[in-house]
Amino acid sequence: MKQSILRNGLNNNPKPILLIGASGELGGALATHYATLGAALCLWGRDADRLATIANACRIAGATRVDVRSLDLRDVDATIAAIARDDDTEPFDLAIIASGLGDIKAVGALVEDAAQVAQLGLVNFVAPSAIAAELGARMAKRKLGKIVIIGSAAAFHALPFAIAYAGSKAGLARFADALRINLRPHGVFVTLVSPGFIDTAAARKVAGPKPMLMSPARAARLIAQATQRGQAHLITPWPFAFLRLVDRALPRFARDWLLRALTPPGR
Ligand SMILES: NC(=O)c1ccc[n+]([C@@H]2O[C@H](COP(=O)([O-])OP(=O)(O)OC[C@H]3O[C@@H](n4cnc5c(N)ncnc54)[C@H](OP(=O)(O)O)[C@@H]3O)[C@@H](O)[C@H]2O)c1
């Protein structure tokens, strides 16, 4: 039973899949993807109305069961307690952390606002890392589980106009990779996903060109495939993997020049 949901996302009596950030567009697309496979879902988000809407859509799409939890991830202690409660009630074999906050420096600002830097650190690094640690320890005891962490291709580059976003996602990427190595001998797979641009309202709010823009539905399908394979790292679309190599290979002065040249005017 346990193995089949990990392979297929399908089961006659499936364990719920935990989806954090389900009220968002990528999270919603992931929820719908698994709903069409007949999964049971535990959807977490903050906006209760959007969560209710996506929960209804998932029921219509074929989810066998949908539970929702609305909470603010910035309250990290409450978040960890909620993970423990939900996992005690019914253990998760698969958890996808697709929450996140985007931001770029305001026009004319010298650096990003300190309070905003703190918010991004909490939502993009502290909360997802703590959730993954709590779930990882629990899954390791059961010798079964998959944790998927949605990072960003922004983590590959020291973006001077999105310092907090690039920095928090880079920290999350390193955490995910280390956790993967830590947990693999205990039967737990950790998959890091580093997407380029996905066509969501959050992405559209950020000015500038968005090459190789992907639909949330396509991103969700690719993430589900990588999850099924237990892939260590999905970088999508693939040219972002090439850009990562270029960033690493360039001498510092050339890389700094390029990143300054890519900075939108006024930022
Ligand atoms: N869109 C892109 O181009 C792109 C590219 C690379 C990586 N990503 C990553 O993909 C993930 C999803 O992005 P998206 O574009 O789908 O963004 P989105 O629609 O804004 O979704 C973000 C999700 O995070 C949740 N969230 C934010 N702050 C929260 C908080 N304090 N407490 C609880 N939940 C909170 C939101 O909940 P509420 O809406 O309920 O507040 C929402 O469910 C993020 O990690 C993002 O960094 C996106």
Q: Could you give all domains of the chain from N- to C-terminal order, each with its CATH number?
A: 2-261 (3.40.50.720)
pLDDT tens-digit readout, 73-129: 999 999 999 999 999 999 999 999 999 999 888 888 999 999 999 999 999 999 999
Lowest mean pLDDT among 2-6, 64-68, 199-203: 2-6
* Cβ of 195 less than 6 Å from ligand 1: yes
8 band by pLDDT with thresholds 50, 70 and 90: very low
The whole-number pLDDT of residue 131 equals 98
Ligand 1 atom closest to Cα of 47? 40
CA distance 246 to 250: 6
Phi/psi at 22 (5° precision): -70, -20
Q: Is the CB of 45 under 6 A from ligand 1?
A: yes
Q: Is the CB of 24 under 6 A from ligand 1?
A: yes
Q: Could you report the per-residue pLDDT of 31-64, keeping only the tens digit for each?
A: 999 999 999 999 999 999 999 999 999 999 999 9
Alpha-carbon distance 114 to 185, whole Å?
Answer: 40
- Mean pLDDT for 128-147 is 98
- Residue 158 CA: distances (Å) to CA of 23, 129, 229, 232: 29, 21, 30, 23
Tell me if 149 sits within 8 A of 155, measured CB to CB: no
Atom of ligand 1 nearest to the CA of 201: 19
Residue nearest to atom 47 of ligand 1 (CA): 100
- On the 0-12 / 13-18 / 19+ scale of CB atoms within 10 A, 73 is buried
Is residue 101 lining ligand 1, measured as CB closer than 6 Å? yes
- The pTM is what? 0.95
Evaluate: CB of 98 within 6 angstroms of ligand 1: yes
User: What confidence score (pLDDT) does residue 13 get?
Assistant: 56
- Cα–Cα distance for residue pair 157/244, rounded to 1 Å: 7
Distance 253 CA to ligand 1 centre (A): 33
Q: Whose CA is nearest to atom 18 of ligand 1?
A: 24
| Residues 33, 9: Cα–Cα separation, whole Å | 10
Cβ of 113 closer than 6 Å to ligand 1, yes or no, is no
